[in-house]
Structure 1
Amino acid sequence: MTELIASTPGTTRYRIAVDTGGTFTDVVVGSDGGQMAVGKALTTYDRVFTGFEAAVRRAAESVGWDGHDVLSKADVIVYGTTHATNAVLTGKVAKTALLVTEGFADTLLLREGGRRDAFDSKAAYPGPYIPRHLTYEITERINAEGEILEALDDDQARRALQGLAAQNVEAVAVSLLWSIINDVHETRLGELIEEILPGVPYTLSHDANPTIREYRRSSAASIDASLKPLMADHLGNLRADLLTFGFAGDLLVVTSEGAVLDVADVLDRPVLLLNSGPSMAPLVGAAAAPDQETVVVCDMGGTTFDVSLVESGVVRHTRESWLGEPFVGHLTGLSSVAVSSIGAGGGSIAWIDGGGLLRVGPQSARSTPGPAAYGRGGEEPTVTDACVVLGYLDAAGFEGGFVLDRDAAERAITSRVTRPLGMTLRQAAQAILDVSANHMATAIRQAALEHGVDPRGALIVAGGGAGAMVAAAIGTLLEARTVLIPATAGVLAAYGAHRAPIATEFLSPLANDTRSFDSSSASRAVSDLKAKAAAFAERFDGVGAEAKFTYFVDARYPGQAWDLRVHLERAPEVSDAAGVIEAAFHEEHDRRNGTSDSKSRVEIITWGVRVEVPRPDQLSEPESSTGSQESHRTDSIIFGGEAYETPRYRGVTLGPGDRLVGPVVIDLPTTTIVVPPEWDAELDDRSNIYLTRKEA
């Protein structure tokens, strides 16, 4: 991909952003005239395109477009998915082997040490991502200076690879010691894999994650290799279906870095797809409140509840995103948007544990069969079913492509919660919602406090298909004063994908020290980064605005176990790099940890650059209607276990400055906003809705 396809004169062209979640597939369609349409349909696991096409068709029909035309005349499709993440967490990946330096077969087993509960001696030791019987030790050795201490034993390596062929291995990961300094042995193993295992995909660790941390490099390579067959099939089927439909534009894929890349790039490095979908919602939070010191972005779909932080308009990133439980899950060490996820969505199942306590999640009804109210055979009570029983969701006006079945929701809650706990139906539904809201509030507190942020002083931005229903309840639990529901809340991640830049990072792992600075190695590192960044930017010349280059280093004080990423205002020129880096590190360390040692030297572990190519903004801000501020009916809705006569408004009838006193419910095309009695709602001139807690 080098340039976006130009529109043919006289025809309307489109751009489509899609977020394929565990329950719903959300799309946002923009035309070259600036119009926008949104749609939502159930995710189809057997063929992702089926749900994607249904969502596009619903979006198109909502504004009078033709769904087939929208797909066939789209210049760009931006695709976000949780497919890779789910595959890793469930173990449904390719049968993968790992080749390591002799004596280091337990790297994936030992991880980086640590445990969540230091006093739990009965906790089972977690198994490695690739089992021990598929881990092969290769005779070779390179030291930290890149010197070959023991040459690669070609014959032994050949025998190992022939053994993999006999075991029908589907992918191979290679992670040798110090390959980031000298990759000659890893490269040779790649050549042997191509010779002995033709057609079997493989990943070399110095390509997957060039970091000095052995576990992270091995883990990234292993996960990347295991995903290659799966994602080649997944994205290949999607591309084939799009071509059959007449799509001839560019297919971009959302990455964990909060950016997009060409589909060919992610097929070469599918590890970048981990946490693909959730990385987009914070972009909307950053745009919605750029001047706010701290924004907590909550994205609640049908399966998960995702929390991320935005500070002064900047989305927080991390290299500590675990897949699964910290210390016992898997870690790649790659930079990604900092998102915390829990199994708390609209489809989260309510159940009674062995002690007779009500639990909600993490199990989900997903899209198949879905909550009982979906009428697709689901019998387990979910958060969505509770919202139907409480009156939050308009059964007849639900925008999922079907009518909600209230009777089925009542039966599910009655049989699985009401009777076992001796509650009334109203009490049981309220309890399900309360337990779920407490889970989400706890997740926000944990995510915020871990980064030194008090959620009580933060602006909460809530979205996702189910987020606006519980936003005020979460705000109450967090003692927040204001909650913002963006105009595109129901399709938060898909809308963010429309605005995501094309971006990637390049790393050069050359160690250095600010007090005994090696100018020659620093010059090599910076020159290498500049060349790679320029080559990447050139590929996308003409796509949007001029590429932006952000340089950084990963550094630490001597003796520290973990390094800190420090962004620099410009490329570190060798003449003053040591002083600039040292000063920047002290400042960042003080900002992040509340302390610094200005007299200490700083060890530089890795040099890096982020290349960002802004994409043209084709979406105009959502327009508010003139508004009649008339409710279309009044329902009896349950808040805190009590029934209130509550007016329902359609979002299209509201205009800028309209203020609604709670309790009230606002029905939007892709979500429902619930305003409890202790909250009020007000629209701004961009159709965003601010919920404000009343004074006690």
Structure 2
Amino acid sequence: MSVRTKAGGYRISVDTGGTFTDVVIANKSGIVAIGKALTTPNRIFLGFWAALEVAASDIGLSAPEVLQHSSLLMYCTTHATNAIVTGKTAKTAFLTTKGFKDILLFKEGGKYDPHDFSYDYPPPYIPRRHTFEIDERIDSEGGIVRALNMQKTRACIRTLRENKFEAVAVCLLWSITNGEHEKKIAKLLQEEMPDVPYTLSHELIPIVREYRRASTTAIDASLKPLMQEHLRSMGCDLHDAGFSGELLIGTSNGGVRYGNEMATEPVRMFRSGPAMAPIAGKAYTKIEGLGKNAIVCDTGGTTFDVALVRDGTLTYTRDSWLGRPKTGHVIALSSVDVRSIGAGGGSIAQVDDGGMLRVGPQSAGVNPGPACYGRGGTEATVTDASVVLGYINPAYFNGGRIALDSKAAHAAIAHLAKKIKKSTDETAEAIIALWSDHMVKAIREITINEGIDPKESVIVAGGGAAGINIAEIARELGCSRVLIPKTASTMSACGMHFSDIVFEETHSMVTASNAFNKKAVNAQLRTINGTLEIFRKGLKGAADAPYKKEFFVEARYRGQVWELDTPLRSIFFKNENDVRDLVEDFHNVHERVYAVRDTESDVECINWRGRISIRLANSAVPRSKRATNVRALPENRRKAVFSAKKHLIPIYRGHTLEAGAHITGPAIIEEITTTIVIPRGASVKTSASGNYILFL
């Protein structure tokens, strides 16, 4: 397979969310069309096809014609995430070392808020009755303390077959130092259950920390039957529709991988869509020359996602929690650090038992959707409130392709208004205010709580609902500029056009700065580098593709519980100066995150990681051309509510605005797939790239 696209061919990206499916078409000159349609959960391809028809029509082609002339299709989906959240994964068995049956039950023994007794302790990801103990033992040095009992293990696997388990997760103690026993179990599984997929922990995630390795392995195995069938079905549908190019799948670390590879490690598809928005945010910030620090927000129909770009690079995490931190289930693979809350355009507003108005986290989704969708929904949502306030034009939603029912929106909000004894307009404004407050808190959690001042960053606002309240959010945070891309409503799908093929390899090797084992560490780094090279050389056509390698260590001060990712200046440690550089770099990282620098403590190094990024497309470059001021003429005027009063405000259509157009608030800009609300005291200028820069 080639990482290059055919000359003159199209590249298509697809992002299927809980409410909308987004499609972006690009060629060698850049993005040429976007399309949006309601997601079809029962068969994802139908929603994709509807969105592709919209995008194709913008360039004068049919959907089949675009597919036939496309050499690359990149795909992100919430299918894996939704399956985990709803519990619709495969019936999975968990095999672990005898005596360690409760790894998934006890987790890491902590609790995010130890004094909160308002919720029950959650059950393990795989029920305890589906956990099976294997008679074997390997020590921390890789020595075999007790050999694998093949007879008992085979009997155990036959029990799994008799009970019709659909997937198997294998996580033995210290298999990261010696995977022999896990490999033998794999051989038995192939003999006894040849059609049942399995995951070996030492292959998927060879790191220290037993629970995190077990949890990630269990989640991966449980997804395999579902996601393998999903990718197979998607591939067949694309082939039947005339697509003969390459299919790449988005990953949670902000890259893309080939479909057949992702079928073997589907856990890497978790939150793959949200991980792409920061990629786009980073590119757009660079194009507009707005600095190297950005807060990237993506407001979809179901969730609000926020991530950071610091010094021109993405921030990563190995703590992707499903549910509450510490008591939920963790995926410990490296991923773009994206924080998500239930605050999208479809978030439901309701009055609780105490008479208080609440917004989210429940969402109306696509079925039935907000009341204004006219699909049977009756509960008031953020979208309904936006219609009532005059922000969203019911006749121009998604370019007029989806007609909204204004009367239904007013009826839904009026029903709530009676409960809280407010007017319809006041209730709608309160819904938007509460919605915005949730978002501000999420942004503060990832910025201020991490020692970052949001005022030092530009906000990049994406998602179909982003423009409704981003100005007020920015004001609350003290940010003076907001970048709203022309393609804001399809931010994650756009991000795939700026993404690379990304592959990571992690090995564990514990050592400390006071007795640093350079020989052992270099051996691990050499193995990691070799694995990265094998991956790169295995990609057909990648020999001439530009690529970048990065190496990291997960380190901590002696006695600390958690590690911090610290970049390595070079791949190998040649002398003591290299070790001192590592220690100094860790001090700097620790001081940036915690405002503490403990130079008297030794630094412990736990896991070593390498990442290779192979470029698919041209990098984003800043525009040399700057737009001059141009007078903008409104399309029409309509009444909209600002500060509890209705005003007759100018309405501008995005496609009529020239580069340099300057608009002062209060005003509204209507794009085909999004709406930008400009409050009083704010202004917007269109850039030479056609993007919107909001000044506050």
TM-score (norm 1): 0.95
The answer to whether structure 1 residue 220 and structure 2 residue 216 are counterparts is yes
Structure 2 equivalent of residue 407 of structure 1: 407
2:451–2:595 contact (8 Å) kept in structure 1: no
State the Cα distance separating 1:406 from its structure 2 match.
0.6
Task: Show the 5 A alignment for 1:246-257.
Answer: 246-257=242-253
- Corresponding position of 2:635: 632
Deviation by residue 1:177-236 (Cα, 9 ceiling, x = unmatched): 100000001111111111111210000111121111100100010000000011011111
Name structure 2 gaps, 5 residues minimum. none
| Distance in structure 2 (CA, Å) of the matches to 1:470 and 1:49 | 32
* Distance change (3 Å), C-alpha of 1:210 and 1:35: closer
1:229-249, Cα deviation, whole Å (9 max, x unpaired): 110111111111000001011
Q: Deviations over 1:269-306 (max 9, x none)?
A: 11111111000111122223346353211100000000
Contact 1:540–1:613 (Cα < 8 Å) also in 2: no
Q: Is the contact between residue 668 and residue 678 of structure 2 (CA under 8 Å) also seen in structure 1? A: yes
Q: Residue in 2 aligned with 1:423?
A: 422
What is the match of residue 645 of structure 2? Answer: 642
Within 1, Cα distance between the matches of 2:518 and 2:437?
A: 54
Counterpart check, 1:52 vs 2:48: yes
SS at match of 1:685: coil
In structure 2, the residue corresponding to 1:511 is in which secondary structure?
strand
What is the aligned counterpart of 1:94 among 90, 98, 108? 90
- Pair 1:211–1:324, CA change in 2 (3 A): same
**1:57-72 counterparts in 2 under 5 A?**
57-72=53-68
Residue aligning to 1:393:
392
Q: Give the 3 Å change call, closer, same or farther, for CA 522–548 of structure 1 in structure 2.
A: same
The residue type paired with residue 121 of structure 2 is Y
What is the distance in 2 between the residues matched to 1:608 and 1:256?
A: 16
Partners of 1:236 and 1:391 lie apart in 2 by: 44
Whether 1:569 and 2:583 are equivalent positions in the alignment is no
CA RMSD of aligned residues (A): 2.0
Letter of the aligned partner of 1:645 in structure 2?
L
The residue type paired with residue 197 of structure 2 is P
Which of 667, 678, 687 is the equivalent residue of 1:675?
A: 678
C-alpha separation in 2, matches of 1:34 and 1:118:
51
Matches within 5 A, 1:535-550: 535-540=534-539, 542-543=541-542, 545-550=545-550
* Aligned residue number for residue 116 of structure 1: 112
Greater mean alpha carbon deviation, residues 523-532 or residues 274-283: 523-532
1:248-647 alignment runs, 5 A limit: 248-290=244-286, 292=291, 294-399=293-398, 401-415=401-415, 417-540=416-539, 542-543=541-542, 545-576=545-576, 577-617=578-618, 629-647=632-650
User: The residue matched to 2:72 in structure 1 has which SS?
Assistant: strand
Q: Which runs of 5+ in 1 are unaligned?
A: none
Aligned partner of residue 608 in structure 1, secondary structure: strand
Task: Give the percent of matched residue pairs that are identical in Structure 1 and Structure 2.
Answer: 43
Q: Deviations over 1:515-537 (max 9, x none)?
A: 32334322321221121010111
CA contact 1:300–1:463 (8 Å) conserved in 2: yes
2: CA distance, partners of 1:41 / 1:587: 46
Structure 2 CA distance for aligned equivalents of residues 96 and 392 of structure 1: 48
What is the identity, as a one-letter code, of the residue corresponding to 2:479? A
**SS of the counterpart of 1:187?**
helix
Distance 1:590 1:52, change over 3 A: same
CA gap of 1:240–1:468, structure 2 versus 1, over 3 A, is same
Q: Distance in 1 between matches of 2:291 and 2:298?
A: 19
Distance across 1 between alignment mates of 2:73 and 2:620: 14
Amino acid paired to 1:337: V
- The letter of the residue matching 2:601 is S
Of 207, 213, 217, the residue aligned with 1:211 is 207
* In structure 1, C-alpha distance between the alignment counterparts of 2:145 and 2:610, rounded to whole Å: 32
Aligned to 1:20: 16
Name the stretch that deviates more: 27-36 or 205-214. 27-36
- Secondary structure of the equivalent of 1:44? coil
Q: Does 1:148 align with 2:147?
A: no
Q: Which one is further off, 420-429 or 588-597?
A: 588-597
Aligned-residue offset at 1:621: 9.2
Give how far 1:90 is off. 1.5
One-letter amino acid of the counterpart of residue 504, structure 1: F
Q: Please list the CA deviations of residues 572-615 of structure 1 after superposition, one character each: whole Å capped at 9, or x if unmatched.
A: 24445533433322232223222223343322212211011011
C-alpha contact 1:482 1:692 (8 A) present in aligned 2: yes
Aligned equivalents of 1:254, 1:626: Cα separation in 2: 39
Task: Report the count of equivalent residues.
Answer: 688
Offset at residue 46 of structure 1 (A):
0.6
Q: Distance in 1 between matches of 2:519 and 2:572?
A: 13
Native 8 Å contact 2:629 2:661 kept in 1? no
Return the alpha-carbon distance in structure 2 between the equivalents of residues 473 and 573 of structure 1: 50
User: Per-residue CA shift, 1:337-376, capped at 9, x if unaligned?
Assistant: 1111111111111111111111111111111111111112
Q: What whole-Å deviation, never above 9, does each CA across 1:641-676 have from its counterpart, x for those lacking one? A: 211111100112212222111011001122111101
Q: Deviations over 1:447-488 (max 9, x none)?
A: 212211122443221110001111112123323322221222
Contact 1:625–1:654 (8 Å) recurs in 2: no
Q: Deviations over 1:542-580 (max 9, x none)?
A: 346322111111122221111121111221244455334
Are 2:669 and 1:666 equivalent residues in the alignment? yes
Amino acid at match of 1:571: I
> What is the Cα deviation at residue 34 of structure 1?
4.1
- What's the secondary structure of 2:121's corresponding residue? coil
Q: How many Å separate the matches in 2 of 1:405 and 1:479?
A: 36
Separation of aligned partners in 2, 1:331 and 1:278: 17
- What amino acid is the match of 1:646? I
Which has the larger displacement, 530-539 or 144-153? 530-539
In structure 1, distance between residues paired with 2:516 and 2:115:
43
1:305-355 Cα distance to aligned partner (Å, 9 max, x none): 001111121111111221121122111211111111111111111111111
Name the stretch that deviates more: 242-251 or 602-611. 602-611
Match of 1:79 among 65, 75, 82: 75
Counterpart code for 1:485: I
> Equivalents in 2 of 1:427, 1:691: separation in Å?
26
- The residue that corresponds to 1:181 in the other structure is 177
Residue 116 (structure 1) shift = 2.4
Instruction: Say if 2:162 is the partner of 1:159.
Output: no
The answer on whether the counterparts of 1:13 and 1:75 sit within 8 Å (CA) in structure 2 is: yes
Structure 1 residues 627 and 267: CA distance shift in structure 2, 3 A: farther
Counterpart CA distance in 1 for 2:471 and 2:556 is: 41
Aligned to 1:283, what secondary structure does the other structure show? helix
Q: What's the secondary structure of 1:69's corresponding residue?
A: helix
Moved more, 224-233 or 679-688: 679-688
Give distance in 1, aligned partners of 2:313 and 2:468.
27
Report how far residue 23 of structure 1 moved.
0.4
Query: Using the alignment, how far apart are the partners of 2:197 and 2:449 within structure 1?
Result: 38
Alignment check: 8 A CA contact 1:14 1:74 kept: yes
Q: Tell me, in whole angstroms, the C-alpha distance in 2 between the residues paired with 1:560 and 1:526.
A: 24
Do 2:631 and 2:661's aligned partners in 1 also have CA atoms closer than 8 Å? no
One-letter amino acid of the structure 2 residue matched with residue 194 of structure 1? Q
- The answer as to whether partners of 2:77 and 2:273 remain within 8 angstroms in 1 is yes
Structure 1, 611-620 or 373-382: larger mean CA deviation: 611-620
Amino acid at match of 1:540: L
Amino acid across the alignment from 1:610: R
- Return the alpha-carbon distance in structure 1 between the equivalents of residues 454 and 545 of structure 2: 36
1:402 counterpart letter in structure 2: I
Distance 2:436 2:518 in 1: 55
Query: Offset of 1:513 from its aligned partner?
Result: 2.7
Structure 1 position 635, deviation (Å): 0.3
Q: Which amino acid aligns with 1:358?
A: L
Q: 1:399 is aligned with what amino acid?
A: N
Of 450-459 and 348-357, the range deviating more from structure 2 = 450-459
The whole-number CA distance in structure 2 between the counterparts of 1:598 and 1:539 is 43
